[in-house]
A = this chain, B = another copy of it.
Amino acid sequence: MTDFTRFDGRAVNDLRPVRITRGFTTNPAGSVLVEFGDTRVMCTASVSVGVPRFKRDSGEGWLTAEYAMLPSATAERMPREAMRGKVKGRTHEISRLVGRSLRAAVDLRALGENTVNIDCDVLQADGGTRTAAITGAYVALADALAVLKERGVVPGEPLLDPVAAVSVGIIDGVPCLDLPYEEDSRADVDMNVVMTAEGRFVEIQGTGEHAEFSRAELNDLLDLAEGGLYDLIDLQRAALDGALGEAVTLGEWS
């Protein structure tokens, strides 16, 4: 696009190397390790019979999500939220985003009165943890729903087409795809885009804390995001076609 050089040598429209490993742990029905460069998130999907009160007797299921960072995930250790006795606003906000995004990938009626719990625990953080979480959680969700179907406890086919997420932002006036921490922390504008395989948006969250953005800049950012998201969706599909425990990758891993 431009001859602007990113600090890690990528082009502005390049994703970082991405890796998805299914069957990362054995206990939950779905367990995935997703890596966007140095960002590493363990995404699991557990299933329980029954639904929360507000869905009872609706004939529909529910999906809820919790996102958290291990205290050692960041360069400077963060205090553990359980020890502080309360969850930070940022954590709540991302948990809610992950939940809404993944519900777009489930037919709640076909799920029957079952509940899926998505847990996204960040083992290592280098920017884009929420978008990696959503992208990986779709794969964990698919595995968990497959287990449910095998057991014959869901009335229909609850899994819908893939949902993936990616961050975009404007760095020194240049729109860029998939920001690591070094870029994210000094971006003028920061946007997270969640999209389905059909190219429809589930969520767009754009924030200009250091500078506002014009309609034209918004369009540039969405173009970049769409490009990356189709690649991520292809990788999600490849992971689900592969074998449990095998990793699928995008880009160069050393």
A residues near B, CB below 8 A? 25-28, 31, 38, 40, 42, 44, 46, 48, 66, 68, 70-75, 77, 80-93, 95-96, 100, 103-104, 117, 119, 121, 123-125, 191, 195-196, 198-209, 212-215, 218, 222
Contacts and interface: CB of A to CB of B under 8 A. Distances in A.
Given A38-B26, A46-B72, A119-B70, A201 B213 contact: yes
Copies of the protein in its oligomer: 6
Given A71-B66, A86-B86, A201 B214 contact: yes
A77 B90 CA distance: 23
Nearest to A226: B215
B66 A83 contact: yes
B208 A205 contact: no
A204 B205 contact: yes
Contact of A200 (B27, B31, B205, B214): B214
Given A72-B119, A92-B92, A124-B25, A203 B206 contact: yes
Contact of A89 (B38, B95, B191): B95
> What is the interface of chain A mostly: helix, strand, loop, or mixed?
mixed
Given A31-B72, A82-B86, A201-B215, 7 more contacts: A25-B73, A26-B38, A89-B95, A92-B92, A199-B214, A215-B222, A218-B222
B200 A72 contact: no
A112 B90 CA distance: 27
A77 B116 CA distance: 11
Contact of A206 (B25, B90, B201): B201
A87 B96 contact: no
Contacts of A100: 207, 209
